[in-house]
Amino acid sequence: MTNQNTMLPGVMPVLLSIGNHRAAGALAVRSAQLAPHDYGADLLAARLFQYSDPVRGRFCAQKALHKVRAELATNPYSMRALYALGPLLAMLGDHRAARKALESVTHHDSPLEYYRAIGFAQIGDGTAALERLDFIGMRGWRHACILDKDDGFKPLQSDKRLHRLQADLLAA
């Protein structure tokens, strides 16, 4: 299942771009309640609370991981679930399994590569994370305004390459 029937796709980038993680987190939690079988809102809530409220973030990540694994059990080719697995494992501290999951996703021309970038950033592989961001940027992804506000990239915030890439994407 995806979060197509919730408000997340339209409202979330706006809330993230202005850095309002509290409102974005509340919206993600409410969306998860409205779509109990969907892992997208739980994944987003986990990312939003990862640093500001680690206990809540971990709880949301565990919920999302459970739902992702259930989705993959019934549909092992679910692209959204495959892309969500690595970042969730990274958030939960299993970096070895996260790397394996991130590297096992077949390469696609998809904005979902953003999640691989987050996963690589979370396990400390800044080069791979930036390569994924550059890849989706070259294919038209234009949400660079959230890169410095997305806590998924917190490990890269002091990396000049991230700021250079963000400036390049914003200029495109």
23 vs 7: CA distance, rounded Å: 13
Q: Under a CB-based contact definition with an 8 Å cutoff, are residues 116 and 86 in contact?
A: yes
Q: Under a CB-based contact definition with an 8 Å cutoff, are residues 118 and 129 in contact?
A: yes
The pLDDT-based confidence of 121 (bands split at 50, 70, 90) is very high
Which residue matches tokens 């092992």?
A: 76
54 vs 50: CA distance, rounded Å: 5
56 vs 121: CA distance, rounded Å: 21
Does position 154 have pLDDT exceeding 70, yes or no? yes
Q: Under a CB-based contact definition with an 8 Å cutoff, are residues 53 and 46 in contact?
A: no
**Which distant-in-sequence residues (6+ apart) come within 8 Å of 67 by Cβ?**
37, 38, 39, 42
Write the DSSP symbol of residue 118: H
Q: Under a CB-based contact definition with an 8 Å cutoff, are residues 167 and 132 in contact?
A: no
Residue 144: name the closest of 133, 158, 159 by CA.
133
Q: In this structure, what token pair is assigned to residue 147?
A: 């890169």
Taking only the tens place, the pLDDT of each residue in 9-48 is 566 666 666 677 778 888 888 888 888 889 998 998 999 8
Does position 8 have pLDDT exceeding 60, yes or no? no
